Structure 1
């Protein structure tokens, strides 16, 4: 069974479903039913609020799905509308389940102090907005150490840093050879940064990633960049000059669009998620695939390009400052965590086969992230320096 912190699925939510359906249908509830309805609604709200501390549980979606499954059972004598009776045994079951949920919430909230077996010899803070900009002449600029304003000027291209921490390229008095100069923006583990390219396209660079690009696109047929790691792109429209992102396994060609590419070497595949516009993907076997908004393409060593509906929230979580796990194994999750917190991961014993779902801010210390993962009792952690040991 997957590890999800959820209070739903017992008889009490079926009772609440029936009561709400009857009331929505205009059927009058008696005093006992009104009291039961109010009590169960309060329990639902309390449960959802408590669990949201640790899990991004979509209560609206869950309850909408339940209401769609309602089937009328009995016709009320004073109405042509069908009424769904609340049987005594369901009321008793609901009351018992409600008490179980209340106790369960208390256990979840107290678990950090009572049951979690994690050992933290020290804590590790979240990553920061930082990167290294390498110019064509080899000069390196450590961006976290520079104040806002002008950073450098090369071949008539002005490179500056905004007050909110974005590297911006702008044309001053461009010379012809600016397009021949290659610049690289790179991050290491624990770093992320934003970049505005010479054509005003925007790039968000995730940890342990790099992007190579010309100091100017002027005079070039294509606006071509090279990516390792992960980045989110918002590309300026220019139908005469397609924008191309090259990775080890593919090339993505666009005119103007928003998309995310994940091409970390430890994943062994490249994932492209399209949010807006359209893109054409060409893999190393010269197979091509057009993507529509809301689709994800996976390119691996095989000849085919696999296309499926995108999990936009999960794909965009890092850019929005969150971790979001959706039915993921602990080893997959720890890869993301290791890049952001710049840590070494070791495993003591077999790797858990359980799958995890949840959301938490990337601004939290690592202890809070690991505690959330261990609420399932499937895994525990030991933190020593910058080494994290994972145990079942």
Structure 2
């Protein structure tokens, strides 16, 4: 078994690699980034030297040499000159100190590594691009099992799958009857998918979500869909036919805009984050609120609609293929992780109150995500099958 230690954690490596790559490509770093780059490069140099010294250090050999230094050599035995105990003691002390310093570094680092160590009986891969399309007649199409091309034709509407994995509704020989036919695109834990609606609007569907929509909007006053879970929308402009997203707690009405809605039941509230355009939100109490770009609206069981500045990077991280945590508790984070990796989460002991911030790709195996979270020593994880136990 290889017990050698390595000096650099994955988080530092990522930051340092990005800064070095940016500079190498000719991009100009600001003063803060330049200082950080220099600090990380110095830390890497110092840490690498310390670890090389520890890994290459032969403790037994050094102790043997020290013991040999303590014993008087033959010249000393045959000499009438007195030994100088001070010089000998300094020599012994220096050798011993070197041994204790190097071994001490190794013990501290080994102990720290053991404290951070998670237990992975197995690893779990990231979720995938898949969903189930349910047609009005009840037929179910598992999209991960189909090749690109035509999937179905319904009331003059052609339903196809693109080469890059998107369900597309397009007009073939449209009839008004198609507006009476409802289709549903749904994902389970560990799945995500993209959809182009009959009006050319685009929808990104997150894990454990569904969207119900008419096969055609022809002849309808409003373009209305029903959402559960989370989705990001880019709506085609049509002033004559408002687009409405209905959830259990609200309705969002738009003419043409980009926005994200998170309405997972385990959150017990609905958040709408607007990127461009404007939307009108109506809650269950018929209270209405206009939302501006860069704002987030929170709707819960109260009569009020709470509006605040949006953290758009966090809100759209999932759509861009990342996890982004911004001062979030571990139980909040594990809800996101459980949906994407399709796992059961249990807690051993009290739940940590520490807040976590960071970013990591959703394409990573779960071990890499959990290792990042355990970097602060606030939590540790055990992975057994599809169960993850969280401990302090």
Where on the TM-score scale, by shorter chain, does this alignment land: which range?
A: 0.7 to 0.9
* Residue of structure 1 in register with 2:287 after alignment: 287
How far has the Cα of 1:52 moved from its partner?
2.2
How far has the Cα of 1:50 moved from its partner?
3.4
* Residue of structure 1 in register with 2:177 after alignment: 177
* Residue of structure 1 in register with 2:103 after alignment: none
| Number of corresponding residues | 314
TM-score, length-scaled by structure 2: 0.75
1:137 aligned onto 2:141: no
C-alpha distance 112-183 of structure 1, shift in aligned 2 (>3 A): farther
C-alpha distance 334-48 of structure 1, shift in aligned 2 (>3 A): closer
Contact 1:55 1:359 in 2 (8 A): no
Matches within 5 A, 1:142-291: 142-291=142-291
Contact 1:54 1:359 in 2 (8 A): no
**1:320 alignment partner, SS class:** coil
* Residue of structure 1 in register with 2:32 after alignment: 63
C-alpha distance 350-216 of structure 1, shift in aligned 2 (>3 A): same
- 2:254 & 2:120 partners in 1: Cα distance? 46
Which protein, 1 or 2, shows the higher relative CO under an 8 Å CA cutoff with sep ≥ 6?
A: 1
TM-score, length-scaled by structure 1: 0.75
* Residue of structure 1 in register with 2:13 after alignment: 50
- 2:17 & 2:327 partners in 1: Cα distance? 16
**2:390 alignment partner, SS class:** strand
Deviations 1:258-317 (A, max 9, x none): 000000000000000000100000000110110110000000001000000000100010
Give the RMSD, CA atoms, in angstroms.
Answer: 3.0
Which protein is bigger by CA-based radius of gyration? Answer: 2
How far has the Cα of 1:105 moved from its partner?
12
Deviations 1:132-179 (A, max 9, x none): 000000000000000000000010110000000000000111122100
Contact 1:54 1:372 in 2 (8 A): no
- 2:229 & 2:45 partners in 1: Cα distance? 43
**2:373 alignment partner, SS class:** helix
- 1:178 & 1:50 partners in 2: Cα distance? 54
How far has the Cα of 1:104 moved from its partner?
11
Unaligned runs of 5+ in 2: 1-9, 20-28, 52-108
C-alpha distance 124-238 of structure 1, shift in aligned 2 (>3 A): same
Contact 1:55 1:358 in 2 (8 A): no
- 1:248 & 1:62 partners in 2: Cα distance? 48
**1:351 alignment partner, SS class:** coil
Deviations 1:81-129 (A, max 9, x none): xxxxxxxxxxxxxx9xx7799559989x999965422100000000000
- 1:49 & 1:111 partners in 2: Cα distance? 20
- 1:193 & 1:100 partners in 2: Cα distance? 41
Unaligned runs of 5+ in 1: 1-46, 67-94
Question: Which protein is richer in helix relative to its size?
Answer: 2
- 2:335 & 2:219 partners in 1: Cα distance? 40
Deviations 1:45-84 (A, max 9, x none): xx9963627999xxx78939x9xxxxxxxxxxxxxxxxxx
- 1:344 & 1:356 partners in 2: Cα distance? 21
**2:332 alignment partner, SS class:** helix
- 1:105 & 1:272 partners in 2: Cα distance? 50
- 1:165 & 1:106 partners in 2: Cα distance? 49
Contact 2:11 2:372 in 1 (8 A): no
C-alpha distance 384-292 of structure 1, shift in aligned 2 (>3 A): same
C-alpha distance 100-282 of structure 1, shift in aligned 2 (>3 A): same
